[in-house]
A and B are shown apart, each in its own frame.
Chain A
């Protein structure tokens, strides 16, 4: 996983090696890179350029996730899908 990117919470938990990550949302405390109260797997998170490590906390488990550095911005395919879903929701609400 690279800094200067946009990812879903589920992807970050997977990358951090959390067991059964899809099952923890809404059941356990999830805190990623200082963002608390994450209850949805498709919660979008930007990791800023230059960040070398983020803390992933699930319940009482804390994992430090090292990040590769990249000048090019990454938006994961899962993050793109989450963005598209968000846009669909907004479209429906405004119709």
Chain B
């Protein structure tokens, strides 16, 4: 039997349930991000608006540049100022996805992207979304399935952990809700 669990990492991980919202925000929960700027904090919001990650000091990965770092690397700020993203550790990544299976399986054809919540080929509405796998040198502007981040294949195991930097920026004023993250993989 397969189990898929998403976490927002922090001093303790917060499990992201299927009905929860990953909230990209300004400095604090429910605060706005300036148009064109990126998230200063990341939270798990319940379906009724509660701050589920409030006690866990959730990690934040803020996109800084696509290729402004050493050797054309992308840059982000995860709390220590601007750094090349290949310097991040798994523990510093905001998003962790665990895929487990009762028997050992390999994971291939794994992709992660954002879409509008209706059609997977569509980009999210009014949002710029950036994602990178831990160890990557550059962010992927993963908007719509055709632009998805390709995640490294994972050899046979009963538990597979995947770590991602995630960051988002509003392209206009107002809360963005046509914005869904989707992870697809094949196991065998």
Contacts and interface: CB of A to CB of B under 8 A. Distances in A.
Interface of B: 67, 71-72, 86, 89-90, 104-106, 108, 134-138, 140-141, 150, 152-157, 159-161, 188
Interface residues on A, range: 20 to 34
A51 B161 CA distance: 12
A33 B150 CA distance: 19
A27 interface: no
Nearest to A54: B155
Given A48-B161, A73-B90, A34 B155 contact: yes
B103 to A, nearest CB: 11
A73 B160 CA distance: 14
Given A75-B135, A87-B136, A48 B141 contact: no
A35 B153 contact: yes
28 contacts: A6-B135, A33-B106, A33-B155, A34-B155, A35-B153, A36-B188, A43-B153, A44-B153, A45-B153, A46-B154, A46-B155, A47-B155, A48-B160, A50-B157, A51-B155, A54-B155, A73-B134, A73-B135, A75-B135, A80-B86, A80-B137, A83-B135, A86-B150, A87-B72, A90-B138, A90-B140, A91-B138, A94-B141
